[in-house]
Amino acid sequence: MSDEKHAGARCGSLPPTRCTHPQNDVGATSVAFHQDAATQVWRGNADLRAVELAANASQCHGAPPAGDGLKDPLHQTSLITRPTDTQMNVNIPYADMLLPAQGPENPFSDRGRFAHQNALAGHVEEQSMTEHAFRAQHLTHAILGYSMNPSVDEAAPRFLGDLAKAAAGGFATLDMTRARRGEKKELKRKRGGKGDLDVAEGEGSYAGPWATWDGDEPNSGFLDGFTGGDDDEEEEPEEVAPKAGAGKKSAHKPKRTGAHGEETSIFHGKSMTDYQGRTYMHPPVAEAPGLLSESGGQECFIPKVCTHTWTGHTQAVAVIRLFPGTGHLMLSGSMDTKIKLWDVYTHQNCLRTFHGHVKAVKDLCFNNDGTQFLSCAYDRQMKLWDTETGACLKRFSNGKIPYCIKFHPGQQHVFLAGMSDKKIIQYDMNTGEITQEYDQHLGPVNTITFVDENRRFITTSDDKTIRVWDYDIPVVIKYIAEPYMHSMPAVTLHPSGKYFAAQSMDNQILIYSTDNFRQNRKKRFANHQVAGYACQVGFSPDGKWISSGDGSGNVVFWDWKTGNIKSRLKAHSQVVISHVWLPHETSKVITASWDGLIKLWVRHRRPWFATMC
């Protein structure tokens, strides 16, 4: 005991953190003190007083005992600091972090807002609901200001948001609310007129969806709060007077059925009949004896020479069609809204011009005997014409733009039209009514092609798909769509009827079978530029050659068997949008272009052709 007291008297006056040994560092002494004490307690054979004496003795003598604590790198790096250090890393015990905060609490802190939250943004619960229910509640809250509370907590409110408005509306969602009939009429009455497309400025000018409401003040054109000074005032221009009759035209203009002009036709010949009393509908057998022979019986060759040019259209030619069977007459539709009938063999002149459309002509189609033809244009009108007299027999419209039109080959009183509203409509010309609608396409319909003895038909659309239908049944029996497919705005049947060629917008022509509607991957015709142009595909009457126009004014000819390009003919200065092979004359092709010209091409120049290109 005396030794212990002596040690305590000798060392008790020294503070435990002030070691005077010159070779001792303060941090090292502290480590030695705690580590040595911990080691002795762990061994458990010394009492607390002995541990304290040993610790004091270690502090005073400055020679730390050799223990495991000094060798531990964690203690050396975590507690030993340099005089220049401003930060010391210490591992705080988890129990200390859970202790309550000491001292008064800041009354302005937002600590209490997390009391009922399980996430930073609020209280989150996981619920299961359909996509339709979620969208309905989301739109209801965004537009009406309230929505149903999806929480399963019974104490939670049933609705969130503006409860007064929800109660006034009967807690109905947005899809359940309907405006009263009186409100709809009042809104229509207050809405200003859309105006006329032909009037640019002044009274009756076109406003469309930007039409104002009655009582609305017009915008001054300045930002809110801005007042222009005297220097900013400018002399107002004189008002432009609207065209005469603009108001009357706007008042009587149909809303959705499209505009139609007065149907007239002009005969350009000297006489309607020849010396035998025959009209131009009679095929000129004397000038072309082969017109009555079977088509495709002779071998065809690639044409090279232009022998005649038909001029008369003032704008781009969009489509040409030959008289069925003989091909001695040719119809052409142009963007100048005119349809012209041309003589191909005798005098090669314009026989008749049909007026009636007020916008560009899109497609033409003869019936089986050629006595009548259908036309459709961007004015939303489809019209039936008499080929011989030029009279407009009937007109049809459903308010949409027709992109293609086709007679049913077996029922000549029925025709189909592909529309801009993604539908194919079927008309009965006897009654003038729509008898069927085919509405599974997702884009405007571009082509209609009858196959399988006219029991089925194929349609292509801007939705990049090919669909096959049974006639008069609005159900798709074959759906062709691949990720690599592009839109196919032009389709032509092979003379054999076993294949059809589709002009793809990725600069290639794809071949499909008409029996199982599968693509023939062995036949692919490419290396021509047609992207963005609905250039018509053509076949020679014997099926040996396949041809197509392109965007540079060329006509490209491929070998049907090998797929190789045999000729590239520079035919026009602009896009060759349509071309046809003469059915009974070998090696003759007629081309139509956006340059407004129609040309006849043959293999060799004949001396008896008087007109030249």
The phi, psi pair for 224, rounded to 5°, reads: -65, 135
Superfamily of domain 264-270+295-602: YVTN repeat-like/Quinoprotein amine dehydrogenase (2.130.10.10)
Continuous segment of H or E residues that includes residue 322: strand 317-322
Report how far residue 48's alpha carbon sits from residue 134's, in angstroms, rounded to the nearest whole number: 69
Q: In what order do the strands lie in the sheet with 519-526?
A: 490-493, 499-504, 508-513, 519-526
The answer to whether the CB of 379 falls within 8 A of the CB of 256 is no
Interval 175-193: pLDDT, tens:
777 766 676 677 677 777 7
Where are the domains positioned within the chain?
2-82, 264-270+295-602
Question: Mean pLDDT for the chain?
Answer: 79
Report how far residue 49's alpha carbon sits from residue 71's, in angstroms, rounded to the nearest whole number: 26
pLDDT at 325 over 70: yes
Q: Is 426 helix (H, G, I), strand (E, B) or coil?
A: strand
Owner of token pair 């607390």: 48
The answer to whether the CB of 453 falls within 8 A of the CB of 494 is no
Exposed, middle or buried by CB within 10 Å (0-12, 13-18, 19+), for 604? exposed
The type of residue at 109 is S
Token pair listed for 14: 């020294």
Nearest alpha-carbon partner for 344 in 584, 543, 72? 584
Interval 257-305: pLDDT, tens:
455 678 999 999 888 888 888 889 888 887 776 777 777 678 899 999 9
State the pLDDT at residue 252.
45
Nearest alpha-carbon partner for 89 in 104, 102, 74? 74
The answer to whether the CB of 352 falls within 8 A of the CB of 390 is yes
pLDDT at 52 over 90: no
Report how far residue 15's alpha carbon sits from residue 10's, in angstroms, rounded to the nearest whole number: 12
Token pair listed for 219: 């915008």
Q: In what order do the strands lie in the sheet with 456-461?
A: 445-451, 456-461, 466-470, 476-480
Classify residue 566 as left (phi > 0), alpha (psi -120 to 50) or beta: alpha
Instruction: Quickly state the pLDDT bin for 358 (edges 50, 70, 90).
Output: very high
Instruction: Quickly state the pLDDT bin for 383 (edges 50, 70, 90).
Output: very high
